[in-house]
Structure 1
Amino acid sequence: MKNFAIFVALALASTSAVADSPAPTVTFRGTTYRLSRTSGNEYDFTPAEQTPPSADVLTLLVLSRIKDGEALADLANRTLSKLKDTKATIVRTNSVPASAQKPAEHFMAVVIPSPDALQFGASRYVLVGGEGVEMIYMHTIHGNAVGNEMSRWLDKNGADVEQKLMQLDASSMMPTTPAAAQAPADALPPGTIQKGSLANPKLISDAMQGVAGKAATLGCEKIDSRQPYVVAKPQGPAGAQVWREKWLVTCAGKTYPIDIRFNQSGADAADWTIE
């Protein structure tokens, strides 16, 4: 499936392979998929009862450099543009709007031609535990004139693929390695519980004004990088939840912690306060 590389060409980071781990399984559309191959940040799953070459592949890409919704959307847009350049047929695109606690998710479905096959590809972009994740489902129909067959398959399966892929729990596809199981508890800064921010891109952009102002009072003239961490998860009723984060900003080689309190004000808005 050489055209599969189009989906992964813009992956920005990698993770170590898990050759010694028991092969996990994941259920997708009523079929059990088993981990069949790992390569860096790529985990490929194929149906347990399907013999190679597999017509169906479910792939997880862990994009450890993607830390927020803005970067996630940019990656999805660049991938879509790359696919258009290859003359792929865009079947559908969709985005789930961001909320005060959750960045937007993005979905695309395309049909990619090749000399001896047609490939349907569906891809979902989402943040999991503060890191970007791309989940890809590929269905291949081999042959020289299979357009009508692919159209019939799409009519029957396209909507269900999108629904099930958007519902799929990415964490269920992540193999557990001995190294991961023994990761030190101090991998997170003291007092934090999760890497990444719960704020959406707009709220992050707004809060950066206050973060920059606070950093300036600490001697930071220009922020080189930032890494948010969750200190306390949202509490309170829907529409009025409160949560706290600690952002570590780096300036000229020095790191400064900035504490932020977020207050939800309605279903799709929130305010911030530098503490």
Structure 2
Amino acid sequence: MRLKFADQTYLLRWSSKHQHEFTPSGQDDLSRWTDMITINTYPDVRDGDGLADVANRVLGTYKQNNAVVVRTASVLRTPARPAEHLIVVLFPIRDSIEAVFARLRLADGRGTAVIDSHRLYGQKAGDAMAAWLKANGPAVERRLMALQEIPSHRILEGPSR
């Protein structure tokens, strides 16, 4: 299974029930990747209130795991579109740092998170990530919030999974 994002093709590397991880060609080692798209589905979430609850739980889980919150935002509901939520965090990990951009929305009638992660390695990864975020963060956020075509939960969690 393939996913196209930001002019790059991502390949499905790992999947279990409601979580699906994609990385580009050449990044098939899930212990040493640089770019990853994760899609989480929440089958019990069917409305804006449920989605807001999931967004708050995801943010809480990130904080419990020592994330540094960079930004959160919500796109208000309109008559044509349900509300959406954005969470941007940094995970400083020993010898690496990971930037996570999580967009939570309703898709195909259920809660869905599309998460774009970028990881840098090395002792000075924090400095390099600060420069990467300054140069790339706003564009990643715009592309993620504009992304419309993601695999349906029916495809991701179909009978062969």
- TM-score (normalised: structure 1): 0.53
Which of 10, 27, 34 is the matching residue for 1:50? 27
Structure 2 gap ranges (5+): none
Contact kept? 1:60, 1:173, Cα under 8 Å: no
Q: Deviations over 1:84-143 (max 9, x none)?
A: 333321111111110124220000111011122111111000001210001111111112
Q: Deviations over 1:215-259 (max 9, x none)?
A: xxxxxxxxxxxxxxxxxxxxxxxxxxxxxxxxxxxxxxxxxxxxx
Structure 1 gap ranges (5+): 1-23, 181-275
- TM-score (normalised: structure 2): 0.88
Larger Rg belongs to: 1
Q: Which has the higher contact order (CA 8 A, sep 6+)?
A: 2
Is the aligned partner of 1:126 residue 2:97?
A: no
Q: Deviations over 1:29-78 (max 9, x none)?
A: 11111111111111111002435222111011111011100010111112
Is the aligned partner of 1:86 residue 2:88?
A: no
Residues 67 and 149 (structure 1 numbering): CA distance in 2 closer, same or farther, change over 3 Å? same
Is the aligned partner of 1:164 residue 2:143?
A: yes
- Output the aligned Cα RMSD: 2.0
Identity of aligned residues (%): 33
Which of 57, 60, 63 is the matching residue for 2:39? 60
Instruction: Please give the residue correspondences for 1:114-193 in structure 2 after superposition, counting only pairs within 5 Å.
Output: 114-172=93-151, 174=153, 175=155, 179=159
The one-letter code sitting in structure 2 at the alignment partner of 1:98 is R
The one-letter code sitting in structure 1 at the alignment partner of 2:91 is I
Is the aligned partner of 1:99 residue 2:78?
A: yes
Contact kept? 2:70, 2:89, Cα under 8 Å: yes
